[in-house]
Structure 1
Amino acid sequence: MDTNGAVDVAVVGAGAAGLACALDLAAAGRRVRLLEASDGVGGRMRTDLRDGFRLDRGFQVFNTSYPQVRRRLDLRPLRLRPFTPGFLLAGPAGHRRVADPLRRPDLAGDLLTGRTVPPRDAAALAALTVRDALLPAALLRHGRDVPAAVALRAAGVSRTTVDGVLRPFLSGVFLEDGLATSSRVLHLYWRSLVRGTLALPAAGIGAVPRALATLLPPGTLELDARAAEVHRDGVVLADGREVAARCVVVATEAAAAAALLPGLPVPETRSVTTFYHVAERSPLAEPTLLVDAAGRLLNSVVLSEVVPGCAPRGLSLVSTSVLGTTAEEGPVRARLAELYSCDTSDWHPLAAYRIPGALPAMPAPHPLTRTARWAPGRYVCGDHRATGSVQGALASGARAAREVLADLATGPDRRGPGR
């Protein structure tokens, strides 16, 4: 390739990590080309329009407390619609509510009276919550790393509450039902849960990456530009075109990154299927997450109660997630009838999103961040290099930008491989 007219950096993939990386490189004055294989930005954070319904590609929530989010975005244009703080646990005893007594004391009766968890466990959870909310994040990141189940028991929470209340809820967060996820990841998530608000943009989760993309310099982003090969001098696209660049950052999901960067380790991932149903009447007239205590489903929510504009007037949109990618719609709808205590036979199945690599697995011990350096002039970033969250993806992209800038400043001979 002729590198005389090259950009400084080509970034492959316009998900959250690639957008953050490109934005930081451009802000530092570098010439950047952001290459996206699909017809829009966002990666897994996309929203589809179908028959008047707005469908996120899998169940999504947006946490306002993430530092990278607060640094990069003005949240007001997103018109965020909040979920109820807490969740409803659906089981043989009906619905038991787990609510934040500080934010919603009117909903905390089940928790404060011991109907949801025994008073001793409530006190242990309160102490854990205060600790995670008030300690500096750096201390949480460098604490002893054990499986989440071990950490919760060590915090004084009984096995009954861990297995019967926390495991069903956290299975939907980490997409694994063994609570093997790193305790460092657990504590950082709990901190973000307490300090922020879980919400959805009025236009769907895809509004978040679109807002980031509007901050790019004109001409930076190229859609429908699939990378076929990466080497030290740039990127070869699937249509044969060449993008010359001094450095290349691969910001795709892990398997696609490994195809472009041979030898890159591909971590184990967690899979999920999200079903969308249309109901003529809302089965739960509040914007609250419903959690299956038995674990047959992960969770369900009437999205049109959270964001009324996601469904045509007079109809309700229900989102339900299940571990793995093999679940069938019929048994899921039958289970929803039990959880919502209503007839679901007339619910219309609208869509099913089967997502094989929805999150990276994060078992203890888990490194919360990894270097972006892979080989001279080649870098990699994404949530698989950090934590499985919007914060992790954005932070990984930011780290890649910092390392690229440092290496460009010292010259190509100083760029070394990293693992």
Structure 2
Amino acid sequence: MSTGDAQRGGAGASTLPDAVDVVVVGAGLAGLRAAQTVARAGRSVVVCEAGDGVGGRVRTDLVDGFLVDRGFQILNTSYPALRAAVDLDALDLRRFTPGAAVRDGDGRLHRLADPRRVPTWAPRTALDRLLGPGDKARIGALTLRSLVVPPARQARAPERSTADELARWGLGGTPTETFLRPFLAGVLGDRDLETSSRVFSLFWRSFARGDLTLPSRGIGAVPAQLAARLPAGTVVVDTPVERVAPGRVETARGAVRAGAVIVATEGTSASALLAGRVPPPRTFALTTTYHVTAEPPTRRPLLHLDGAGGPVVNTMVLTAAAPSYSPDHRHLVASTVLGAEPLPGSELRAELTRIWGTPVGAWDELATVRVPHALPAAVPPTPEGLRRPVDVGDGLFVAGDHRDTPSTQGALVSGRRTAQEALRFLARDA
């Protein structure tokens, strides 16, 4: 079975129903979680997906036998909504070392790890000179604060940009430029660190609490599991939605009547389908290039960052953590830049040679994945609690990480709470 087949999950119905209680538009994480919530409440639901499988921006493709995720993906096991929605053990998670390797502007490589999580690395991390003792102590204090302050308070705290928040903790300058900016740019898609300090605080908490992992069969195993738990025929793929109206969804394969409609697509397409009832969010683009090599630059499952501020925000040997991403003895390296366009091949190879400290000219380029709307920008001002309205009136609802936080957690929470709002609407309308 190919990865694409696996990601059909509960999909495959050849015809659309004439009418259901709820139509969900989009089979990404938010849409699948919404459908799951509706189905568990005993209501009928169908999910219309334009693509040939589930997952949206969280998919895995099979390319020459290799598992190729849709861009830079890391699954954080600390997310409560993830634990509530899926069976993590069934995903056969493969873990990365909780830390990073940083190549500084002088060409030195620094390997840092969370001493709480990797005690054997504590002496190495304490003695490493990328960050001074005071900087390490301040990062420790920031981490402690993120762990002890309840998430609800963090989501309502006084707001500033992430850059200003780091400066407030005395972490401007070298700590930000050599370590925090390249790390956070890859996670948030935001090199300027304009992201709300509320969002940053919750992200930092998740990194401190959870394991950074990938399912052995690719990130697409997450939506595939969600889809497989839905009633047979719930998800209808290859069914682009052309128009959404109160009580009716028109698709390329026919129309469906519904008591409620949940649009759970990426934010810009959701805005278009809802005819401007919600404004399109600003988004960040990411582009990831995958290379194959017989000899890996490292066998450590560790994220590598460019502390010199180059265009590559991160690069990692995926097969160091998850050998199953390769069909044979070769290794798969993923490297990500900000924006919707990859670096020219020669420039990318030069940057990777510098970051890895070894020639990469013999690496074979396998695939380049552009994700133009990878992450919604969560810049100030954000609503207290970080939750935007999901009921847009007339039985129409909107779900997605653009309504909560730009993360797996945000997408799953949004799907569940939007479905609950739709169920309340149906109960009132009965």
TM score, norm. by length of structure 1:
0.95
Q: Is the 8 A contact 1:87 1:99 kept in 2?
A: yes
Residue 123 (structure 2) aligns with: 109
- Deviation of 1:158 after TM superposition, in Å, equals 4.3
- 1:369 & 1:409 partners in 2: Cα distance? 23
* Residues 47 and 234, structure 2, Cα contact 8 Å, conserved in 1: yes
Counterpart in the other structure of 2:273? 260
Please, which of 35, 40, 43 is the counterpart of residue 22 of structure 1?
A: 35
Asked whether the 8 Å contact 2:179–2:305 carries over to 1, the reply is: no
Instruction: Describe the SS at the equivalent of 2:418.
Output: helix
Indicate if the aligned counterparts of 1:54 and 1:204 stay in contact, CA closer than 8 A: yes
1:328 pairs with 2:363: no
- Counterpart in the other structure of 2:134: 120
Matched, 1:393 2:415: no
Aligned partner of 1:34 among 47, 59, 73: 47
| Partner Cα distance (2:136, 2:247) in 1 | 58
1:355 lines up with 2:355 in the alignment? no
* Alpha-carbon distance between aligned partners in 1 of 2:360 and 2:19, rounded to the nearest angstrom: 58
Which of the residues 180, 193, 196 maps onto 2:207?
A: 193
Corresponding residue of 1:224: 238
2:302 matches 1:288? yes
- Residues 14, 42 of structure 1: 8 Å contact kept: yes
Q: Determine the C-alpha separation between the residues in 2 that align with 1:45 and 1:146.
A: 29
Residue aligned with 2:373, SS: strand
The answer for the alignment partner of 1:204 in structure 2 is 218
The equivalent residue for 2:5 is: none
Residues 71-105 of structure 1 deviation map (CA, whole Å, 9 limit, x = unaligned): 11111110000011110111224111221001112
**Which runs of 5 or more residues in structure 2 are unaligned?**
1-16
Q: Please, which of 168, 182, 185 is the counterpart of residue 168 of structure 1?
A: 182
- Could you tell me which of 179, 188, 191 is aligned with 1:177? 191
Give the aligned partner of residue 423 of structure 2: 405
What whole-Å deviation, never above 9, does each CA across 1:211-270 have from its counterpart, x for those lacking one?
11111122211111111111112111113x111111111000112112211113101110
| Pairwise CA distance, 1:114 | 4.9
Partner SS for 1:384: coil
> Please, which moves more after superposition, 152-161 or 96-105?
152-161
Secondary structure, aligned partner of 1:22 = helix
Q: Which digits, 9 at most, give the CA deviation of each residue in 1:6-34, with x for residues without a partner?
A: 21110000000001111111111111111
Residue 313 of structure 1 and its aligned partner are, at CA, apart by: 2.3
Q: Name the CA distance, whole Å, in 2 between partners of 1:277 and 1:208.
A: 24
* SS of structure 1 residue aligned to 2:101: strand
Normalised by the length of structure 2, the TM-score is: 0.92
CA contact (8 A) 2:76 2:206 kept: yes
1:67 aligns with one of 67, 80, 86? 80
**Letter of the structure 1 residue corresponding to residue 62 of structure 2:** L
Aligned position for 2:167: 153
Classify the secondary structure of the residue corresponding to 2:369.
strand
Match of 2:13 in 1: none
| Residue pair 2:240, 2:252 contacting (<8 A) in 1 also | yes
Match in the other structure for 1:214: 228
Matches within 5 A, 1:347-386: 347-367=363-383, 368-386=386-404
Q: Hey, what's the Cα distance between the residues in 2 that align with 1:357 and 1:278?
A: 26
Query: Within 1, Cα distance between the matches of 2:378 and 2:122?
Result: 31
Aligned-residue offset at 1:110: 4.2
Whole-Å separation in 2 of the counterparts to 1:148 and 1:259? 30
Indicate conservation of the 8 Å contact 1:232/1:247, yes or no. yes
User: Deviations along 1:102-154, whole A, 9 cap, x unmatched?
Assistant: 11122233431251211111111111111111221111111111001111121
Residue 298 of structure 1: SS of its match in structure 2?
A: strand
Report the Cα distance in structure 2 between the residues aligned to 1:75 and 1:69, rounded to whole angstroms.
8
Contact 1:371–1:399 (CA under 8 A) maintained in structure 2: no
Single out whichever of 381-390 and 321-330 deviates more from structure 2.
Answer: 321-330
Contact 1:110–1:116, Cα closer than 8 Å, also in 2: no
Q: Which amino acid aligns with 1:100?
A: D
For residues 50-69 of structure 1, give each alpha carbon's deviation from its aligned partner in whole angstroms, at most 9, with x where no partner exists: 11111101110001110111
2: CA distance between counterparts of 1:365 and 1:112? 37
Residues 89 and 290, structure 1, Cα contact 8 Å, conserved in 2: yes
Unpaired segments ≥5 residues, structure 1: 413-419
What is the Cα-based RMSD across aligned positions, in Å?
Answer: 1.4
SS of the equivalent of 1:400 reads helix
Contact between 1:168 and 1:294, CA under 8 Å: does it hold in 2?
A: no
For residue 416 of structure 1, what is the aligned residue in structure 2? none
Count of matched residue pairs: 408
Q: 2:156 aligned to 142, 148, 159, which one?
A: 142
